[in-house]
Structures are given as structure tokens and as C-alpha cells.
Copies of this chain bind each other. A is one copy, B any other.
Amino acid sequence: MKAFMSSLADAVRRTGTPLIVGLDPRYDQLPAPLCGGGNANSMEHRARCYTTFCRGIIDVVGNTVPAVKPQAAFFEALGPAGMTALADVIGYAQRAGLLVVLDGKRNDIGSTAAGYADAWLGRDGKSAWGADALTVSPYLGDDSLTPFVDAAVKHSAGLFVLVKTSNPGGRTFQDLTIEGQPLYRHVAALVEAVSAEHADGEAYGPVGAVVGATYPAQLEELRDAMPHTWFLVPGFGSQGGTAADVAAAFDAEGLGAIVNSSRGIIFAHNGAAYAERFGAARWQDAVAAATADAVAQLGADTPAGKLR
């Protein structure tokens, strides 16, 4: 099986866009027609709505974007029923030809990290959840990443390690200066070294980095510092990052980064730009329009435009 980052590059070339759609379902923002009549207090009911909603989004974007990013938190919030919905959504997305980056920001030490890695990573059908890639937190250090890297190599899967996150508080620790370099650069150096070590002749190794769209200068700096590291860029759209802000995340070919949009696409029917045009009844048309607009923006204002 092809390495994840190579599959991702293929998918970006095929679709002509680096847009990844975040699946962050929230019950109170679902389109009303989709979930009427059920018991809003029942987690099983909510979980069924999440499945229907996410499948509906996948039906719209399945041929348009390379990947989706389900956010574990919102499914976990519904207990075991939510986790069953998450498993369904991952499988449905993959059957639609999409790569699935599970956003769980997991980590732990030693054999426990191996537990998470075995749980989530497995494009070969040999893990419980079978995601193509997983987001991972770095605070526990180098030996905590090893089991994830081993599992990624074994299953041809990918990782995205938090380096510079898109939230304002990302500065609290990530920007503290150590020997003339902020902490995120020290994390970046580890990620790049491990990814380069396992690149196996490909342009990008199995370990990617999460770098927020809200910090364009750092995107540019990190792109230079991490030539073997694919970026997952959150913060585009609802969090304020523009397509121009993320332009520096790409390599000269227009590869090397995927740019996430969640709320701006999946809840487009509620958004100022689309609500009047489509409304809740035509929520899938709103998703299609918001996706097309994001694809166009990224094509116009970033090197990914070369791929179209």
C-alpha cells in the first residue's frame, strides 16, 4: 500500500485542491429538516443525526476534495452511540474515496501510546477505527511519538503532530524562547527529523505538522525548516485565516499542505454568505457552494492553484 502522504499528494492532484473538510457536528447547528421529530435529549437520536449529517456532507464533497477530518470530541460527547457514529462516518468517507484524518490530538507514554496508535491508524483494515491519519500532541516528548511513528510506517498511515496551533493561547507555551528559538521550533525540529528519517525516498515522510492559518509568518518559516513534513493547516475560514494567509504553507509544486475548513462549510446553511440563498432546507446545496468558494479561493491565492 502506498504511503499516506503520497496518497494524499495523489488525492490533492486528482481533485486539484488542498481543501480538507472538517466534520465537527454540533446538534444545535444541524439543519432543522434533517433531524426533526426525534428526542433531542437522547444521545442515540443525536448520534443518528450526526451520521446522517456527516454522510450527507460526504455525498456532496466526496468527489471534490481529497480528505475529511472528523473531530473526535463531538462524537465522544455522545458517549458510545457517538463512537458508533464516528466509526460509520470514517468507513462511509473511505468508501466515497476520501482520505480520513482523525482529529483526536492523542498521546500517552510507551505502550499506552501504542494502544492509541493501534486503535486509530490502519488503512489496511486492521485497526478498530481504520483512519488514514491521526493528529497527535507532542508534550510527552520523543519516546511518546515513537509508537505512533512505528504504527504509521507499519500501516502506511500518517500523523500530524501539533507544532503551532491556530488559537490565540497557542502562544502561551509554544512561543516561549529556548536558546533563541521558540518552543514550536524545537517541536518542529523533532517532527522534521523523524519524518525525514522515514521518508523512504518519497518527498514527504509519514509525520506531518499542524500549523495554524492564523500565523502566516510562522507558516513560511516552518515550510523552510520542515522540507519533509506535510502541513495540516487549521484556522482557515471561521477562525479568520484567509487563502492568502496559508499560501506560504505550500511547496513550489503546490503540494505539502492541506487546509482545513469546518464550520464555514458544514454549517454554511447558517452562515451569512449562504443562509439567504439556500436556507436549512437546501443545506447540502449550501455545503456545495461553500466548498466551491473555498476551493476557488485556495486556487486563486495559493500555489495549489497550479494543480487545477
Q: A32 interface residue, CB < 8 Å from B?
A: no
Q: Which residues of B contact A6 (CB under 8 A)?
A: none
Query: Chain A interface mostly helix, strand, loop or mixed?
Result: helix
Count residues of chain A with CB under 8 A from any CB of chain B: 59
Q: A139 contacts B76, CB within 8 Å? A: no
Chain B binder among A166-174, A222-230, A244-252: A166-174
* CB within 8 Å of B: which A158-198 residues: 162, 165-174, 176-178, 183, 186-187, 190
Q: Mark A61-77, 1 if CB is under 8 A from B, else 0.
A: 00000000001011011
Q: Mark A211-229, 1 if CB is under 8 A from B, else 0.
A: 0000000000000000000
Q: Top 5 closest A-B pairs, CB basis?
A: A143-B169, A141-B169, A141-B172, A79-B128, A73-B115
CB distance from A73 to the nearest CB of B (A): 3
Q: Which residues of B contact A170 (CB under 8 A)?
A: 109, 140-141
* CB within 8 Å of B: which A86-144 residues: 86-87, 103, 105-113, 115-116, 118-120, 128-129, 137-144
